[in-house]
């Protein structure tokens, strides 16, 4: 038996148990009942299923506390990060605002997104008005949408701008809804998006100026396996990488040691 053999609902419950044992070090039937609203009988069945999957290094059962405890040799069935597991560590019964900060709601007009997506699929150029945070609103420009990208928080649009004669990253929400969205074929009009087709291999190290102990803590935090940490992205997304990883912020804990580029 494997996780892939389970139906989706039970698979989610078994993964939840796995995360409880990985990050809490303990789990019981009540965890399943409270989280998923299932019966205790179904919770018992889910535990039996989990024990079959984890039989190489199973948790031990404490009959007094009616709880399973992870062994020292425990290995997760599905590796997860602490961020992914936060939901099982937070006290959901606590009154007041959530223990997680609210995320900004990045809104977008579905009709505009649909127009952009269809332009990508049909290889069309669109005439839009765009408001930049650096240069302000333009009077209109032709762009050729090529793909959507994400920095892990915000969805961006990669498009060729005839006005600027280069590929750029746009925020769809900054496209004015009253743009004409006039279309024209773009086949044969675009240069190669060299930055998109170039892999950036970024080698990171703890920020200069940290003490040896601070640098060691940073290496543990970011999972360094050697003196430098290797991270890959596309050259076109480097700006977002620097911002997402905090390399461009005061108090940064990491810095680039070197960057290498390879064609994709």
User: How far is it, in rounded angstroms, from Cα 10 to Cα 40?
Assistant: 14
- Which pLDDT tens digit goes with each residue over 37-84? 999 999 999 999 999 999 889 999 999 999 999 999 999 999 999 988
Tokens linked to 94: 């606590």
Nearest C-alpha neighbor of 171 from the set 132, 117, 129: 132
Phi, psi torsion values for 28, nearest 5 degrees: -145, 180
Residue range 14-25: mean pLDDT, rounded: 96
Answer yes or no: is pLDDT of 93 > 80. Answer: no
* Counts of helices then strands in the chain (DSSP H, E): 7, 13
183-212: average pLDDT: 95
The total number of residues shown for the chain amounts to 264
pLDDT for position 56: 87
For residues 150-171, give the mean pLDDT: 94
Element containing residue 124 per DSSP (H, E): strand 124-128
Q: Which CATH number fits domain 3-89: 1.10.10, 1.20.140, 3.30.460, 3.30.530?
A: 1.10.10
pLDDT of residue 55: 87
Question: CA-CA distance, 102 to 193, in Å (whole number)?
Answer: 36
Q: Measure Cα distances from 197 to 46, 78, 121, 235, 261 in Å.
A: 46, 32, 19, 8, 10
β-strands 60-62, 26-27 pairing: unpaired
Q: What is the pLDDT of residues 205-245, one digit of tens each?
A: 999 999 999 999 999 999 999 999 999 999 999 999 999 99
Residues 111-120, mean pLDDT to the nearest whole number: 96
- How far is residue 78's CA from residue 75's CA, in Å, rounded to a whole number? 9
Whole-prediction pTM: 0.79
């Amino acid at each position: 038996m494997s996780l892939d053999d389970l139906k989706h609902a039970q698979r989610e419950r078994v993964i939840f148990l796995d995360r409880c044992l990985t990050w809490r070090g303990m789990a019981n039937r009540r965890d399943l009942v409270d989280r998923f609203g299932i019966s205790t009988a179904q919770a018992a069945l889910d535990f039996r299923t989990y024990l079959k999957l984890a039989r190489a290094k199973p948790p031990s059962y404490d009959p007094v506390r009616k709880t399973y405890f992870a062994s020292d040799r425990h290995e997760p069935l599905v590796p997860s990060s602490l961020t992914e597991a936060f939901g099982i560590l937070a006290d959901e019964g606590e009154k007041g605002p959530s223990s997680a900060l609210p995320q900004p709601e990045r809104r977008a007009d579905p009709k505009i997104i649909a127009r952009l997506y269809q332009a990508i699929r049909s290889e069309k150029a669109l005439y839009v008005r765009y408001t930049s945070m650096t240069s302000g609103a333009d009077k209109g420009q032709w762009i050729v949408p090529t793909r959507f990208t994400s920095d892990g928080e915000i969805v961006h649009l990669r498009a060729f701008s005839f006005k600027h004669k280069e590929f750029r990253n746009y925020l769809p929400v900054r496209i004015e809804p009253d743009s004409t969205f006039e279309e024209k074929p773009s086949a044969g009009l675009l240069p190669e998006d060299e930055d998109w087709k170039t892999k950036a291999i970024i080698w990171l190290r703890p920020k200069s100026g940290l003490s040896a102990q601070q640098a060691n803590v940073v290496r543990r935090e970011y999972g360094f396996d050697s003196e430098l940490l290797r991270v890959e992205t596309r050259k076109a997304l480097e700006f977002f990488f620097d911002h997402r990883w905090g390399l461009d912020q005061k108090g940064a804990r990491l810095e680039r040691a070197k960057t290498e580029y390879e064609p994709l």
